[in-house]
Structure 1
Amino acid sequence: MEYEVVIGLEVHAQLTTETKIFCGCSTNYNTPPNTNVCPICLGHPGVLPSLNQRVVDFAIMAAIALKATINRVSYFARKNYFYPDLPKGYQITQYEVPFAVDGAIEIETETGTKQIRIREIHIEEDAGKLFHPESGAGLYTFVDMNRCGVPLLEIVSYPDIRSPKEASNYLKRLRQTLRYLGICAGNMEEGNFRCDANISIKPLGSEKFGTKRELKNLNSFRFLENALSWEIEYQKNVLGSGGKILQETLTWDEKEGRAIPIRSKETSSDYRYFPEPDLPPLHIEEERIEKLKWLIPELPWERETRLIRQYGIREYDAELICSERGIADYFEKCASMFSDYRTLANWITTEIFRELDRRNLKIESFPVKPEDLVELIKRLKAGELNLSTARKAFTIMIEENKTAAQVISEYDLVQISDTRELESIVDAVLSECAKELERYKAGKTSLFDFFLGQVMRKTKGKASPHLARELLKKRLEEI
């Protein structure tokens, strides 16, 4: 039987406010354990929460960018459950009337553009974090409450996603959008952008959804795709053998390559939601929304379109450049100083991307400034450097934090383009490689590249490749 996959994602995005959502504690939970805490975020008796208005501003910006409708009045609720990292015994979230509803994100699929609808956006607080030391052999667990009360947006999609790849593309676009807004760091490996996936399958053409299972805390795009792919095959095998899918909550074990059940799936009644008695309804005025609209930057898909139109770069390059707001800013600073936009785009999407990945750097801390990259490329285009020496200069610029002019001068990287000088080098190479020359003359013409390599080696890569090739070809024809 052929099945259709049905996936919905619940994303928890930590907001980059300086203080927590209901108290004045710092949101930096990477400090020593249990230091950024107070009676409010620890849930001591008699304390009262006070809503951080910066959190509300960030939620408004997210809702605008995600094309969601902001409820002018929304309500906080208590979600009751017991877990060691939840000192109050409940989480303050939103339930019956969320902050915003009915948004959407467009993603690219194999068949074109697709819209994934967003059902709800909630404002809520994060819980603490558990640590399971290996030396404890399962005998004890540590808890760090620094993360308690860090503000979150929970963004819940409709079950519009039909494949693991679509799920990954949706998550990437959502993270990219929140990063562009400057309201979420979006570092999945650090836990400030987390994803749960609800997945079921149904017979193709059926209107009735199957039993869904939830995969919790998927903290990388690769894990998300792997977990969903495994679960799809699991459900197909169960149904194909006449079995029944159990509604469960699962955790993904990447080492084992399988999902492991951790509990039966809860329903909303299990959490005994009720209105938060210590917080008033949240009222949002139209004036506040209009004011914050002016703070919304050009969003990634808008910027991609403009870069293609304005600079004539390829769609693929525009997508890569706009993957991070800082990289797009870097490109446009370069473009204001140099009009060969395609060459700029190529350098950024190859050389810079490679170095950022290799050195684990962000573009904001990249040592080569836009003006220095432009200077390097200009010298390459002018023939002062060849591609090999330009790349060498680029590496030195990164490692020694020097300008292109300094590196080219100090390391004597100017390209050798003098015909007489190169002719003498070619002659020297052929003289030194007499045995290879005899083999070449005997018909082994593939040795041409060997001779050319020797010329480049003798000049330490500084010879003009085009001129060296022409002079070598001419000399070999004369022999």
Structure 2
Amino acid sequence: MKSADKGNYIPVIGLEVHAQLSLKSKIFSPEPAAYGALPNTLVSTISLAHPGTLPTINKRAIEYAIKLGLACKSTITRTNYFARKNYFYPDLPKGYQITQDTTPICQGGYITITTPESEERNIELQRIHLEEDAGKSIHDMADDTLLDFNRAGVALLEIVTCPDIKNSEEAYAFLTELRRLVRYLEVCDGNMEEGSLRCDANISVMPAHSTTFGQRVEVKNMNSIKNVQLAIEHEIERQIQVLEAGEKVIAETKFYDAASGKTISQRTKESALDYRYFIEPDLPPLIVTEEWIAQVKQEMPLLPREYRAKFIGDYQISAYAASVLTESKDLALFFESLCQLTNHYTAAANWLMGPVKAYLNELNLPLQEFPLNAPTLAALIELVEKGEASFSVASQQLFPALLAEPNRTPFELAQELNLLQEKDTDALLTLVEDVIQAYPDKVLAYRNGKKGILGMLMGEIMQKSQGKAAPNIVSNLLRERLES
């Protein structure tokens, strides 16, 4: 396919994201909802669909749904009905899934993304609804299928976008923003590799001059944001090739094979009629009151974009720094706590984005395991900003020493290790004289107008002092000596 062919078609993409809620128990039964337990140890007669058992709704699941809906500016449905979605898979014990059909708990709303062109755009949501997860089928080497029902009945929120996404980069941005959002709200841990956040993509293409959507194909259960992007790119190209060959795109369900970089057909696509939805007779209507919504609203934390706006407005850091510092809630809160202890906000941001993140990345540690608390890091920042230690010495020597002895104060450790800046004028003047005597030709060139040589001479002095000479004092002494 020629790359020019893409310009003749418009991709139309919608996403369906399943977020597994971070609850202690399942949505309709009391057994624990946990990842990594031995197979079939987190089950009950309810999740295994024994005759005569009845579901009971988990109140906290409703509150998590309301919380996400409020964050997405959705309309919260006041009277909710659950429904049975009928289909058969071995890992679905009842032969149907309890979900929401006609009354999703959240309707409409949007999530704001930053497009590849660095513009902000709202991706409109169709709905957010509650449902239960199925179990897990495990296919072994002997062509047998093993069933683990631990996941059956775990609470899910399904977030369904409108066909509002224009390309794979916007899909990537949407999923990144959604994952950040559910983590800030603490309704889902967002770990795609553990299956607690899963994405299906509905993809179609239509001729650029057309107003009618093309036939969509669903790619299911992708386990990383990057794979979603790659699957969409492949499927767009594949569908254009089909249309360019004069053939029709078939409505089907596919999966993405990361090894080959291709989407592979699983089955023809079901329709809503195939699921034979009807109201769940064992659950009464769920009424969400104004008081309940107000209570959830009071518990809402600041959201990522609100933190970004605050960091840029209140602390005057760059938009880029604000974006990096709001990648996770823990990082945003740590920066916030630093800013209560020092008014050197840009320096605090640079320390978190530089030495701190480098240390965590090198050891693959979460921020919760960072050895230094906010007061210690703030004291280190103050030491540098007051000129007691240079940034290079502080970051390369003092910072590692503090990590090894986190209960020591930065000043105390800097004194012990002889890392404080040398401010004694007589001692510094001796260093200046030594360098001037060592480079008479450079001194002559400076006096003949080559002022850039000052930097080279400064570097030599700093090297002789092992980085401990106070740069502002050295600079003044060196200028005076060179121009005398």
**Normalising by structure 2, what TM-score?**
0.87
Does 52-61 or 249-258 show the bigger shift?
249-258
Matching of residues 300-319 of structure 1 within 5 Å: 300-319=304-323
**Corresponding residue of 1:62:** 68
Q: Does residue 261 of structure 2 align to residue 257 of structure 1?
A: yes
Offset, 1:234? 1.5
Offset, 1:422? 5.2
Matching of residues 365-384 of structure 1 within 5 Å: 365-384=369-388
Counterpart-to-counterpart distance in 2, 1:438 and 1:305: 54
**Corresponding residue of 1:355:** 359
Offset, 1:203? 1.1
1:234-267 Cα offsets, whole Å, 9 max, x none, are 2222212222212222222222222222222222
The partner residue of 1:102 within 98, 108, 114 is 108
Offset, 1:354? 2.8
The partner residue of 1:320 within 324, 328, 352 is 324
Offset, 1:347? 2.0
Offset, 1:155? 0.7
Q: Does residue 411 of structure 2 align to residue 397 of structure 1?
A: no
The partner residue of 2:120 within 94, 108, 113 is 113
Q: Does residue 44 of structure 2 align to residue 38 of structure 1?
A: yes
SS of 1:146's partner is coil
**Corresponding residue of 1:299:** 303
In structure 2, relative to structure 1, the CA distance for the partners of 1:188 and 1:407 (3 Å cut) is farther
Counterpart-to-counterpart distance in 1, 2:62 and 2:416: 54
Offset, 1:441? 11
Offset, 1:129? 2.6
Would you say the 8 A contact 1:408–1:414 is kept in 2?
A: yes
Offset, 1:339? 1.1
The partner residue of 2:282 within 265, 278, 281 is 278
The partner residue of 2:421 within 391, 415, 423 is 415
SS of 1:249's partner is strand
SS of 2:53's partner is coil
Q: Does residue 167 of structure 2 align to residue 163 of structure 1?
A: yes
**Corresponding residue of 1:182:** 186
Letter in 2 for 1:29: Y
SS of 1:202's partner is strand
The partner residue of 2:131 within 107, 124, 127 is 124
SS of 2:18's partner is strand
Would you say the 8 A contact 1:29–1:36 is kept in 2?
A: no
Letter in 2 for 1:19: S
**Corresponding residue of 1:230:** 234
Offset, 1:89? 2.3
Offset, 1:472? 8.4
In structure 2, the gaps of 5 or more residues are 1-6
SS of 2:41's partner is coil
1:27-60 Cα offsets, whole Å, 9 max, x none, are 1132222222111112222211111111111111
Offset, 1:8? 0.5
Would you say the 8 A contact 1:128–1:146 is kept in 2?
A: yes
The partner residue of 1:215 within 210, 216, 219 is 219
Offset, 1:380? 0.6
Counterpart-to-counterpart distance in 2, 1:315 and 1:426: 41
Counterpart-to-counterpart distance in 2, 1:219 and 1:427: 64
In structure 2, relative to structure 1, the CA distance for the partners of 1:146 and 1:447 (3 Å cut) is farther
In structure 2, relative to structure 1, the CA distance for the partners of 1:285 and 1:225 (3 Å cut) is same
Offset, 1:159? 0.4
**Corresponding residue of 1:11:** 17
In structure 2, relative to structure 1, the CA distance for the partners of 1:260 and 1:426 (3 Å cut) is farther
Counterpart-to-counterpart distance in 1, 2:107 and 2:51: 34
In structure 2, relative to structure 1, the CA distance for the partners of 1:311 and 1:450 (3 Å cut) is closer
Counterpart-to-counterpart distance in 1, 2:41 and 2:297: 36
Does 415-424 or 317-326 show the bigger shift?
415-424
Counterpart-to-counterpart distance in 1, 2:428 and 2:93: 76
Counterpart-to-counterpart distance in 2, 1:199 and 1:17: 32
- Identical-pair percentage: 43
SS of 1:251's partner is strand
SS of 2:17's partner is strand
Q: Does residue 98 of structure 2 align to residue 92 of structure 1?
A: yes
Offset, 1:218? 2.1
Would you say the 8 A contact 2:383–2:411 is kept in 1?
A: no
In structure 2, relative to structure 1, the CA distance for the partners of 1:313 and 1:27 (3 Å cut) is same
Letter in 2 for 1:369: N
Counterpart-to-counterpart distance in 2, 1:180 and 1:3: 37
Letter in 2 for 1:365: E
Letter in 1 for 2:69: A
Counterpart-to-counterpart distance in 2, 1:427 and 1:251: 72
**Corresponding residue of 1:387:** 391
SS of 1:288's partner is helix
Offset, 1:448? 10
Counterpart-to-counterpart distance in 2, 1:82 and 1:430: 86
SS of 2:266's partner is strand
**Corresponding residue of 1:144:** 148
Counterpart-to-counterpart distance in 2, 1:358 and 1:88: 47
1:398-429 Cα offsets, whole Å, 9 max, x none, are 34434424542443322334455456668889
Counterpart-to-counterpart distance in 2, 1:410 and 1:252: 58
Offset, 1:125? 0.9
Counterpart-to-counterpart distance in 2, 1:470 and 1:222: 53
Does 77-86 or 33-42 show the bigger shift?
77-86
Counterpart-to-counterpart distance in 1, 2:444 and 2:118: 55
**Normalising by structure 1, what TM-score?**
0.88
Offset, 1:473? 9.3
SS of 1:49's partner is coil
Matching of residues 437-452 of structure 1 within 5 Å: none
Counterpart-to-counterpart distance in 2, 1:408 and 1:35: 54
In structure 2, relative to structure 1, the CA distance for the partners of 1:143 and 1:346 (3 Å cut) is same
Offset, 1:148? 1.6
